[in-house]
């Protein structure tokens, strides 16, 4: 007999399968329409079953941040896995080389040191890695300045045994404002992409892959010409950050934490059993909004503080009565860090629990 989500032992992370399915299909359709490859970043879901769903909807491969995530995601059987993070340690490089016997492995990097270490690991284990040169399109995190420096590193990569230069990558995490800002920010990213592509053209070096993309920028990726693929991750679930950026509706938020009101003893407060070890302490990325998540049953209640196991709701402005023992549903601010704290997902269809999936990649930070 299916169980209603309100009967779950809490706190529990639930995923509405219909919403998940819609989010996956929308992104796949957008990429098909604009002839963009899709190589979704799996750091959001860390779940093999969702990796398989992405591949079956036409993703050309999967992206991970860590070798440990790659080891997990191989079970989804991607033909190609991109590690969008420089891998430098001898031990993770050895593990990555083992994976390269099963799937094609691509790694993004922005230094000669990273290229040399990747090459040494490839030679030692008799495998080949694809390499993407990362450039910075305005975020200021990893990546060489767009243009000639990228070509210089690509030339070094071409000289190194065991490496195949395949193209360039950037993470446009700086595209994150409301819609009007996003279009403008995309033009800045487009200029960086153009400068980089032109630098390669000037040296007659073919660039097979030009990889970018994020969730807030996903559906305007076609405004950045020259991209061959995008790597959105958060779009599978969406979250309050995505919502406040105007990049999704609340109904598109597939992952929600079910929590129980455990105390109303202090006037003006309701305490829930979801704290920082359930929701993560991440605040919203932008705007005047505060709080640690949206209580869908009481948007006028503010989740203003978290202890590890307790969430503090300010209910003074709420028109609703709160009762000990009732369940509430919370949309997290940042779903990726929230998912990373849960062993399993409870799968819902029309509010009924129809199964569970393991978050097999949770905690795989190496």
Ligand X SMILES: Cc1ncc(COP(=O)(O)O)c(C=O)c1O
CA distances from 39 to 84, 205, 350 (A): 11, 23, 29
207: tokens are 């660039």
For 118, phi then psi, to 5°, come to: -65, -40
When the beta carbons of 92 and 216 are compared against ligand X, the nearer one is: 216
DSSP states of 204-234: T----EEEE--TTTGGGGGGSTT--EE---G
Taking the complex as a whole, how short is the minimal distance between the CB of residue 350 and ligand X, in angstroms?
27
| Beta carbon of residue 237, minimum distance to ligand X (angstroms, whole number) | 10
Which residue's CB is nearer to ligand X, number 236 or number 348?
Answer: 236
Nearer to ligand X, 174 or 327 (CB): 174
Read off the tokens for 204. Answer: 């007659």
Closest CB to ligand X among residues 165, 219: 219
| Residue 302: strand pairing partners | 314
CA distance 362 to 340: 5
Nearest distance, CB of residue 151 and ligand X, angstroms: 21
Rounded to the nearest 10°, the torsion over CA 278, 279, 282, 284 is 180
Nearest distance, CB of residue 91 and ligand X, angstroms: 22
Minimum distance between the CB of residue 160 and ligand X, rounded to whole angstroms? 23
Q: How far apart are CA 25 and CA 17, in angstroms?
A: 12
Q: How far apart are CA 331 and CA 282, in angstroms?
A: 13
CB nearer ligand X, residue 215 or residue 318: 215
- Closest distance between ligand X and the C-beta of residue 174, in Å? 11
CB of 200 to ligand X, least distance (A): 20
8 Å CB contact between 359 and 49? no
Sheet holding 209-212, edge to edge: 37-38, 229-230, 209-212, 163-169, 129-134, 104-109, 80-83, 62-64
Which of 221, 234 has the CB closer to ligand X?
234
Nearer residue to ligand X within complex by CB, 43 or 256 = 43
**Angstrom distance (rounded) from CA 271 to CA 265:** 9
By CB under 6 A, name the binding residues for ligand X.
Answer: 41, 84, 171, 214-216, 231-235
On whether the CB atoms of residues 58 and 45 are closer than 8 A, the answer is: no
Tell me which DSSP letter residue 345 carries: E
The span from the CA of 269 to the CA of 331, in Å, is 19
Q: Minimum distance between the CB of residue 267 and ligand X, rounded to whole angstroms?
A: 40
- For ligand X, the closer of residues 146 and 232 by Cβ is 232
């Amino acid at each position: 007999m299916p169980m209603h989500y309100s009967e779950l032992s809490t706190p529990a992370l639930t995923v509405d399968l219909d919403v998940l399915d819609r989010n996956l299909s929308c992104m796949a359709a957008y990429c098909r329409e604009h002839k963009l490859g899709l190589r979704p970043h799996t750091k959001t879901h860390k779940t093999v079953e969702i990796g398989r769903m992405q591949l079956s909807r036409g993703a050309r491969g999967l992206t991970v941040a860590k070798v440990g995530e790659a080891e997990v995601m191989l079970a989804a059987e991607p033909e190609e896995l991109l590690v969008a993070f420089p891998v430098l340690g001898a031990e993770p490089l050895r593990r990555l080389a083992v994976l390269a016997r099963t799937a094609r492995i691509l790694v993004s990097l922005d230094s000669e040191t990273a290229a040399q270490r990747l090459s040494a690991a490839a030679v030692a284990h008799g495998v080949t890695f694809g390499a993407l040169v990362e450039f910075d399109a305005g975020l200021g995190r990893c990546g060489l300045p767009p243009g000639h420096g990228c070509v210089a590193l690509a030339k070094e990569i071409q000289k190194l045994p065991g490496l195949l230069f395949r193209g360039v990558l950037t993470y446009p995490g700086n595209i994150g404002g409301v819609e009007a800002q996003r279009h403008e920010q995309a033009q800045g990213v487009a200029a960086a992409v153009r400068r980089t592509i032109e630098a390669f053209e000037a040296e007659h070096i073919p660039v097979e892959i030009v990889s970018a993309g994020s969730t807030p920028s996903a559906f305007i990726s076609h405004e950045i010409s020259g991209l061959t693929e995008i790597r959105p991750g958060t779009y599978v679930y969406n979250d309050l950050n995505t919502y406040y950026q105007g990049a999704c509706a609340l109904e598109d938020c597939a992952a929600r934490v079910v929590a129980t009101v455990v105390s109303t003893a202090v006037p003006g407060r309701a305490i829930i059993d979801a704290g920082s070890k359930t929701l993560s302490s991440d605040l919203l990325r932008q705007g005047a909004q505060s709080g640690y998540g949206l209580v869908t049953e009481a948007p006028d209640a503010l989740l203003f503080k978290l202890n590890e196991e307790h969430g503090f709701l300010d209910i003074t402005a709420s028109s609703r009565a709160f009762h000990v023992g009732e369940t509430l549903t919370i949309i997290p601010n940042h779903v990726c860090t929230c998912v990373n704290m849960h062993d399993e997902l409870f799968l819902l269809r029309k509010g009924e629990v129809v199964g569970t999936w393991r978050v097999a990649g949770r905690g795989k930070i190496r």
